[in-house]
Copies of this chain bind each other. A is one copy, B any other.
Amino acid sequence: MKNSFTEENYLKAIYKLSERDELVTTTDIATMLDIRAATVTDMLKKLAVKKLIRYERYKGLSLTEKGRAIGVKIIRKHRLWELFLVQKMKFRWDEVHEIAEQLEHIQSDELINRLDEMLGFPKADPHGDPIPDKNGVFGKTRTIPLNQVKPKVVSVVAGVIENSNTFLQYLDKIGIAIGDKITIHAIEAYDQSHRISVNQGKEVFISESVAKNILVVGK
């Protein structure tokens, strides 16, 4: 009845891979978890016995409803904890992933639901990834890259596309964080660099590639 950390990590990985392609392969999982394919095969058999995945030798696998529910729940916990760490504990975006990897395995529905409430039932984590609700349902806030926003329109930072630490640290340095209001003042014609202001504050320049990596929701 109780799922181990390991099992939870497999289901989370499989869920993430399923988002791209319904049929998931042994090698994909091995790569994502940084373990050997042979190890994955063993685990797949066990997950299949527990009815958490549908699995046929050499044919790939897919999650059952039961397996999906666990995978989504782990993702929900991970993202809520990340947001908690950033908003309540004042960590930077790029510092929270590793801690959330641990916290996501804490078993207490009550705790996670209170966390959700305390954070105002957020729709996305500090990287802009969506947070499913307690029933495993993802809200569909459509975000767009900042470079697709028209000048003068105010938009709100929801996350990033490529979330490398260096990029997050760069944003931190120039003073851009989740929830900040951004106004584009001008786009330079020859290199598409953006002159923007953050929260009606002083102006900063960002390159086109940076603008493409910042996700916003129109207000």
| Residues in chain A within 8 A of chain B (CB atoms) | 85, 88-91, 95, 98-99, 102-103, 105-108, 110-111, 114-115, 118
Tell me if B108 and A90 are in contact (CB < 8 A): no
Partner of A114, one of B90, B106, B108, B115: B90
State whether B115 touches A106 (Cβ < 8 A). no
Q: In the assembled complex, which residues on chain B have CB atoms less than 8 Å from the CB atom of A89?
A: 111, 114-115, 118
Provide 10 A-B residue pairs closer than 8 Å at the C-beta atoms, listed in order of the A residue: A85-B111, A88-B118, A89-B114, A91-B110, A91-B111, A98-B108, A99-B106, A102-B105, A102-B108, A103-B106
- Asked whether, in the complex, the Cβ of A107 is within 8 Å of the Cβ of B102, the reply is yes
A89-B118, A99-B111 known, 7 other contacts, Cβ within 8 Å: A85-B111, A88-B118, A89-B111, A90-B114, A98-B108, A99-B106, A99-B108
Most chain B beta carbons < 10 A, residue from A85, A90, A108: A108
Count copies of this chain in the complex: 2
A172 smallest CB distance to B (angstroms): 16
Least CB distance, A193 to chain B, in whole angstroms? 35
Contacts of A98 in B (CB 8 A): 108
Q: Give the distance in Å from the alpha carbon of A89 to the alpha carbon of B119 in the complex.
A: 11
> Least Cβ distance of A107 to chain B in Å?
7
Task: Report the nearest B residue to A115, measured CB to CB.
Answer: B89
Distance of A126 from chain B, by nearest CB (Å): 15
Whole-angstrom distance from the CB of A90 to the nearest CB of chain B?
7
Q: Which of B91, B102, B108 contacts A106 (CB 8 A)?
A: B102
**Which of chain B's residues have a CB closer than 8 A to the CB of A91?**
110-111, 114
**How far, in angstroms, from A119 to B88 measured CA to CA in the complex?**
12
Closest CB in chain B relative to A169 CB, distance in Å: 16
**Complex contacts, A88 vs chain B, CB 8 Å:** 118
The 10 closest A-B pairs by CB, nearest first: A99-B108, A102-B106, A89-B114, A99-B111, A103-B106, A102-B107, A89-B111, A99-B106, A90-B114, A89-B118
A102 to chain B, nearest CB (A): 5
Q: Which residues of B contact A107 (CB under 8 A)?
A: 102
